[in-house]
């Protein structure tokens, strides 16, 4: 069954405003979760930490404009704002941005350099020094990825950082096995993407890869890439 881009997005938005919101808010929190969720929480935290390490190493974070597209509960936006960046977080899910705002209020003494907006990344406008999009592409099939990345590139003055679930033989086998056992743990469809495809899309948009990392725990796999305008 093939779905239109609009249908695909509606499914994702509804999920992250309902069961997906509850599931991911807990994973991206610090309360009690099950072992699999704990592993995913730790893997995701490694991805966030790696991005922060990269940006801090450049020593130009204070005042840097950053678009965090698909910001979720603000796991990256909030620490970046804390480090002095001017952060524009946005997410397709109203519930996610509301939670991000609550967390920012609790963790930051003043909320002056971070905003959260309910908006899908396809309709974002403006220019930002850096555009970041972590663990969002996993929700979309390959045929929608070129347009999404092109749009993110058009918003970036200098750099795009994104992460995706890499398509490798081992992971494809794992996914197939998982599909043989559909159960209540099934969440949303997860799409993996080929690294070479992503690199080519960046190149077609005039970007080249600078830093990259592979983050992997038992249940969490994410390929992290930084691409800059050439």
Judged by the rule CB under 6 A, the positions of this chain that interact with ligand SAM are 9, 12, 16, 24, 28, 69-72, 75-76, 91-93, 96, 120-122, 134-136, 139
User: Do residues 153 and 207 make contact, with C-beta atoms less than 8 angstroms apart?
Assistant: yes
The residue number with the shortest CB distance to ligand SAM is 72
- What is the chain's percent helix, strand, coil content, to nearest 5? 45, 25, 30
Q: Which is nearer to ligand SAM, 135 or 230 (CB)?
A: 135
Q: Determine whether 202 is exposed, middle or buried from the number of CB atoms within 10 Å of its CB (0-12, 13-18, 19+).
A: buried
Task: Report, in Å, the least distance between residue 61 CB and ligand SAM.
Answer: 18
DSSP single-letter state for residue 166: B
Burial class (CB in 10 A: 0-12, 13-18, 19+), 17: middle
CB of 75 to ligand SAM, least distance (A): 4
Give the residue with the Cβ less far from ligand SAM, 59 or 90.
90
Given the complex with ligand SAM, which of 8 and 197 has the nearer CB atom?
8
Q: How far is the CB of 92 from ligand SAM (least distance, A)?
A: 4
Please say which residue, 59 or 118, places its beta carbon nearer to ligand SAM: 118
Number of H helices, E strands in the chain: 8, 7
Closest approach, Cβ 230 to ligand SAM, in A, equals 26
φ, ψ for residue 17, nearest 5 deg: -100, 0
Q: Nearest approach, Cβ of 229 to ligand SAM (angstroms)? A: 22
Closest CB to ligand SAM among 12 and 131?
A: 12
The pair of structure tokens assigned to 136 is: 């969002």
The DSSP output letter for 193 is B
């Amino acid at each position: 069954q093939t779905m239109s881009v609009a249908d695909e997005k509606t499914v994702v938005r509804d999920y992250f405003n309902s069961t997906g919101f509850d599931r991911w808010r807990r994973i991206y929190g610090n309360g009690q979760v099950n072992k699999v969720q704990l592993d995913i929480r730790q893997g995701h935290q490694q991805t966030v930490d790696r991005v922060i390490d990269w940006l801090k190493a450049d020593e130009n974070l204070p005042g840097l404009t950053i678009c965090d597209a698909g910001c979720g509960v603000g796991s990256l936006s909030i620490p970046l704002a804390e480090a002095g960046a001017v952060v524009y977080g946005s997410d397709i899910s109203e519930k996610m941005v509301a939670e991000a705002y609550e967390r920012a209020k609790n963790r930051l003494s003043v909320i002056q350099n971070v905003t959260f907006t309910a908006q899908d990344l396809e309709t974002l406008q403006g220019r930002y020094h850096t555009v970041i999009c972590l663990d969002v592409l996993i929700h979309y099939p390959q045929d929608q990825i070129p347009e999404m990345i092109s749009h993110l590139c058009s918003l970036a003055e200098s750099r795009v950082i994104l992460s995706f679930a890499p398509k490798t033989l081992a992971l494809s086998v794992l996914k197939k096995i998982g599909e043989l056992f559909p159960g209540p743990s099934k969440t949303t469809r997860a799409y993996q993407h080929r690294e070479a495809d992503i690199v080519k899309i960046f190149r077609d948009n005039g970007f080249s890869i600078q830093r990259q990392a592979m983050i992997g725990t038992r249940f969490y796999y994410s390929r992290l890439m930084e691409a800059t305008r050439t």
